[in-house]
Amino acid sequence: MFRTLTSPNPTEFAGKRAIITGGSRGIGAAIVQRLLDGGATVATTARNATDETPKAATFIQGDISTLAGVQAFTAAALNELGGVDIVVNNAAAARTHLGGISSIPDEEWLDALNLNYLSAVRVNNALLPALREAGPGSVIVNISSGAALTPVPPLAHYGAAKAALNTYGKALASELAPAGIRVTTITPGNVLTPGADVIRQNFADAMSVPLADVTAGIPLGRPGDPRDIAEAVAYLASDRAQWVTGANLIVDGGELPVI
């Protein structure tokens, strides 16, 4: 069980403007809430808000799986916040294919790349002038997945898109370091969220095992809570991580068996 933390420093992000994709639920909603709790002003997007969507954030309805969708969202978010200091690319989706990798339709490979990889590239491209204006200390955090490091056939398209995100993030970190803009990646393991719960249920059904078996082998003894990832984002987005760039922080309860 997630142990409640002492209150975060309510002024750590005072004056900071954060743009976070996919903040309507799950990990994204926890990230939005964590940065709000630290004093940031936040804009987020998703196709639909939910009861989980933090009310204190500006919610901009949109679909960022296309270039036009990204441009509409980033323009609206910049207009709302007047600039940006922190970008978190969190929105993603995956659909399991249990019939073999070749059963994943071409269209779905393109969808996976567009949403899980290119949306981050496009968001960052659109926000880079504003990040440069914000200057040293501004930061990008890309949310990747353990599926990039431990590829599984039913999610090959999603894992490949996230692996591309990892490589891209590393290159971007090198390019932006001289400007003092940091780029980091977080690799979550199994975190209990609405989107991932559906995927885990598919795996459980395919293996004819109870849902709990899918997350039974996590060394720290429990699946992740969205706040576990939000805390990692808060660290990487803060000046506490001012000498950290190009890093990929694995937050998975010890599940990944290699470095």
Ligand X SMILES: NC(=O)c1ccc[n+]([C@@H]2O[C@H](COP(=O)([O-])OP(=O)(O)OC[C@H]3O[C@@H](n4cnc5c(N)ncnc54)[C@H](OP(=O)(O)O)[C@@H]3O)[C@@H](O)[C@H]2O)c1
Nearer to ligand X by Cβ, of 184 and 190: the residue is 190
Q: Judge whether 219 and 253 are in contact, CB under 8 Å.
A: yes
Which listed residue (96, 138, 145, 184) binds ligand X by CB under 6 A? 145
Candidate residues 46, 60, 234, 241; the one interacting with ligand X per rule CB under 6 A:
46
Residue 250 found at the interface with ligand X (CB under 6 A) = no
Q: Which two tokens stand for residue 130?
A: 């504003």
- Euclidean distance between CA atoms 142 and 19, whole angstroms: 12
User: Do 132 and 230 touch, CB atoms closer than 8 A?
Assistant: no
Tokens of 29: 């909603």
Secondary structure of residue 21 in the 3-state scheme = strand
Annotation marks residue 158 as catalytic? yes
Rounded to an integer, what distance in angstroms lies between the CA atom of residue 98 and that of residue 249?
29
Which of 105, 135, 136, 194 touches ligand X by CB under 6 A? 194
DSSP 134: H
Shortest distance, position 15 Cβ to ligand X, whole Å: 26
Cβ-based nearer residue to ligand X, 64 or 176:
64
3-state secondary structure of 153: helix
| Contact between residue 139 and residue 183 where contact means Cβ atoms under 8 Å apart | yes
The piece of 7-15, 22-30, 96-104, 205-213 that touches ligand X (CB under 6 A) is 22-30
* Stretch touching ligand X by CB under 6 A, among 6-14, 21-29, 32-40, 122-130: 21-29
Q: Which C-beta is closer to ligand X: that of 134 or that of 189?
A: 189
Among 191, 237, 241, 249, binds ligand X (CB under 6 A): 191
Question: Given the rule CB under 6 A, which of 41-49, 126-134, 149-157, 236-244 is the region that contacts ligand X?
Answer: 41-49
The piece of 88-96, 98-106, 128-136, 149-157 that touches ligand X (CB under 6 A) is 88-96
Give the pair of three-digit tokens for residue 252: 């998975």
Which pair of structure tokens corresponds to residue 232? Answer: 């990692």
For residues 210 and 212, give the distance between their C-alpha atoms in angstroms, rounded to a whole number.
5
Judged by CB under 6 A, which of 20, 24, 72, 184 binds ligand X?
24
Residue 137 touches ligand X, criterion: CB under 6 A:
no
Query: Which residue in this structure is represented by tokens 């975190």?
Result: 191
| 8 Å CB contact between 185 and 226 | no
Shortest spacing between CB 106 and ligand X, in angstroms: 19
Interface residues for ligand X in 107-136 (CB under 6 A)? Answer: 115
Q: Count the Cβ atoms, other than its own, within 10 Å of residue 221.
A: 11
Query: Which residues are catalytically annotated?
Result: 158
Where on the chain is the footprint of ligand X (CB under 6 A)?
21-22, 24-28, 45-48, 63-65, 90-93, 115, 143, 145-146, 188, 190-191, 193-196
